[in-house]
Structure 1
Amino acid sequence: MNEFSGGQKGRRNASAGKTEPDTQIGSQLKALYQAVENEPVPQHFVDLLRRLDEAERERSRD
């Protein structure tokens, strides 16, 4: 990985070995993923999973 002299772009986060933009992007992505994890599952997906489970049970009976 290239290191630039001076400026924010080349400054390294010594603890992680990553550049600051990488660390910032990682933090933002983590926050976004956590927000998505906390969203409820849409009802049509729940219905689809239920129908798939029922179809799988029917198929295993045959």
Structure 2
Amino acid sequence: MAKSDELVKFITQQVITYIETPKDVRKQAKANMKEQRESWQTRWFGMLPLATRMLIERTKIKK
């Protein structure tokens, strides 16, 4: 029972902090997070796209 009370308390705190922050601040924070997020290629495939791109560029230089 204690864990469910802690969960309700945590969710309530998060909702209140969300409501209390101005809309402009929330939009700015969302934009900052979007800028910092890595590209979808890296998130889905890791370093594989970068490695293939480097390999292709290296073979173009040798030709």
TM-score, normalised by the number of residues in structure 2: 0.40
Q: Which has the higher contact order (CA 8 A, sep 6+)?
A: 1
Question: Which TM-score applies when normalising by structure 1?
Answer: 0.41
Bigger fraction of residues in strand: 1
Greater helix proportion:
2
